[in-house]
Structure 1
Amino acid sequence: MNALDEYSEAARRHGVPEELLGRALRLARPRIELRAMEDSDAPVGGQYGGHPELPPDVEWDGFPGFVASVDCAAVPVGELDIPLPKDGRLLFFANNSEPSHVPGPTKEGGVVYVPAGTVTTECVPSEENASYTCEAYPLRGRLDWFMPDSNNEVADQETVRLIHPYLRDHVDETLNGELTLGGYASVIHGDPAPWPAADDEALILLAHADYTFVDTPLSCAASWLIHPRDLAEGNFGNALFHVQAYM
């Protein structure tokens, strides 16, 4: 049974009528969920926290904080509906110091793509910024499918409205991992990446993470966003960062 079949079976267990399920599956999107999953036999697909491995020409002093890295060859990026590199590593950085007071996407976080075979060195944060780095542990990746909820901006809001009551429990069973690639954005105050993207000026969700700020008791839903043209060209240097804080 593949990931979409598992999603369909979960929906049926929650009483979704077949006609509505067919409509819903046209909205479901694949995503890669990366978790610690110590009891899983899924391959290690990345690392959460620790020190990033970066090329010599990329400077990093510990801030923005290093969130996670993903080995694109070790997770099923080809199953996503966004074009990610087939190999190499994607590294995600974020302002985990305090909530941003700048509305909308910013450059307070970023993405670095390291092609396969690139010479890298371990970067150690400065003493001043050491608190923004957490202890490293491996992430294991799995593919799943996810429906938008009633806060996501999608073209077919009617189907979302109809299916949402059936799948509340299923959503609770499939919470975000430490990092997710692709899929729909988590919405706290507003959808940072409506789907589908209307044009090249729109933003697509590249990855998502939830974490607690180092300097405040608030948590956040962090999204790394990218324009379709930059994603098609593999230009991750133009990725933007969007954070929504919550208690």
Structure 2
Amino acid sequence: MAQGTPETMRTLALRHLPADDAERWLGLLRPAVRLLTAGDKDPVAARLGGIPALPAEWDWPVWEGHGPLSFVASVDCAALPSGVLDIEAPTDGTLLFFYFDGQFDDGRSAVLVEDPATRPGARVLHVPAAAATVPRATPAGLTPFPEVSLTALPTMTAAEPWHPSVREVFAPGAPTGQYEHPVCGDDFGEALWDTEEEEGPSHRVGGHAHSIQNPVEYEVARAALGADTDGYDDRIHADARNWVLLAQFDSDDDSDMMWGDAGILYWLIRREDLAALRFDRAEFNWQCS
């Protein structure tokens, strides 16, 4: 949901919540690395668009039967602030994010979290720091996004009130979804959304995802558990706690990226798979207004 400095988050919580609830809510914040457009003198930690550098022996990611994926972003893991995240993200090498955005087939195919057959339409690759790489030209049929350099800034992130971690604190045992509590109040929610919107595109590594609709962890967990799950049942709630945000990339005018109606792309992964660098097990989701 929202992101901001610890001071900003504390001020908002104490202004809109009872003191005890404010402290409990503040305890649920998670650290993240915000990625924002770099100034001329800012260190560069990531890039939107442009062309990726790949080992010569690696193929450009392709969705078989559909076409090549568009290159979305790269993250220089060694350039991220050290000791900030609460996930075991790589400390070196480069993360590369690819997505079948409809350029190649004029939008006839969509990558949907609820359809496992579309899973090859999004990919995250980790290029080891020691690997020899060369810039790879964009395949025919795709236009690369304009390159935008991003710098890294530590931040704190908040989840929406119906996120599993928040619901367990303020409404344990309640049915998944909305519940009655000040953290669900309009004033508090609008204040958090206003903070997010004032800060520009919401690109980040780690932390809570900025879900536009349902918590993305629920949607990914439901897809991972299979079609026999019914709505947000207990199995989905339990599995959603195992998924963490690896990175999200917002719509961004500077890079000509528009994901649906001002949407966001998300890559999530289970903590144990992240620790093992099993990025082939990462799951993709996207949401828009």
Common fold: TM-score over 0.5: yes
1:184 to 196, 208, 214: 208
Matches of 2:274 and 2:12 in 1, distance apart?
32
The residue aligned with 2:49 is 49
Q: Which amino acid aligns with 1:4?
A: P
The residue aligned with 2:28 is 27
- Write the mapping of 1:162-177 to structure 2, written as runs, cut at 5 A: 162-164=182-184, 165-166=187-188, 168-175=190-197, 177=201
Cα deviation, residue 178, structure 1: 5.2
The residue aligned with 1:229 is 272
- Write the mapping of 1:1-247 to structure 2, written as runs, cut at 5 A: 3-12=5-14, 14-38=15-39, 42-60=42-60, 63-76=68-81, 78-97=83-102, 98=107, 99-101=110-112, 103=114, 106-130=119-143, 133-154=144-165, 155-158=168-171, 161-164=181-184, 165-166=187-188, 168-175=190-197, 177=201, 179-194=203-218, 198=238, 202-211=242-251, 218-246=261-289
SS of residue paired to 2:266: strand
Give the RMSD, CA atoms, in angstroms: 3.3
Q: Is contact 1:78-1:84 (8 Å) kept?
A: no
SS of residue paired to 1:174: helix
Matches of 1:53 and 1:151 in 2, distance apart?
39
Cα deviation, residue 242, structure 1: 1.3
SS of residue paired to 1:78: coil
Pair 166,188 (structure 1): closer, same or farther in 2 beyond 3 Å: closer
Pair 179,115 (structure 1): closer, same or farther in 2 beyond 3 Å: same
More helix by share: 2
Cα deviation, residue 47, structure 1: 0.8
Of the structure 1 ranges 66-75 and 169-178, higher mean CA displacement relative to structure 2 is found in 169-178
Q: Is contact 1:49-1:136 (8 Å) kept?
A: yes
Pair 222,231 (structure 1): closer, same or farther in 2 beyond 3 Å: same
Cα deviation, residue 232, structure 1: 1.4
Unaligned runs of 5+ in 2: 63-67, 173-178, 222-236
Q: Which amino acid aligns with 2:28?
A: L
Identity level (%): 28
The residue aligned with 2:229 is none
Matches of 2:135 and 2:84 in 1, distance apart?
30
Q: Is contact 1:96-1:214 (8 Å) kept?
A: no
The residue aligned with 2:230 is none
Matches of 1:108 and 1:148 in 2, distance apart?
27
Q: Which amino acid aligns with 1:51?
A: I
Q: Is contact 1:32-1:75 (8 Å) kept?
A: yes
Matches of 1:60 and 1:238 in 2, distance apart?
18
Q: Is contact 1:16-1:163 (8 Å) kept?
A: yes
Q: Is contact 1:31-1:183 (8 Å) kept?
A: yes
Q: Which amino acid aligns with 1:227?
A: R
Q: Which amino acid aligns with 1:122?
A: P
SS of residue paired to 2:153: strand
Cα deviation, residue 113, structure 1: 0.8
Q: How many residues align?
A: 240
Q: Is contact 2:30-2:158 (8 Å) kept?
A: yes
Unaligned runs of 5+ in 1: none
Q: Which has the larger radius of gyration?
A: 2
Pair 139,75 (structure 1): closer, same or farther in 2 beyond 3 Å: same
Pair 191,142 (structure 1): closer, same or farther in 2 beyond 3 Å: same
Post-superposition CA distance 1:65-89 (Å, at most 9, x none): 1111111121125311111011221
Pair 173,5 (structure 1): closer, same or farther in 2 beyond 3 Å: closer
Pair 10,118 (structure 1): closer, same or farther in 2 beyond 3 Å: farther
Q: Which amino acid aligns with 2:92?
A: D
Matches of 1:216 and 1:170 in 2, distance apart?
22
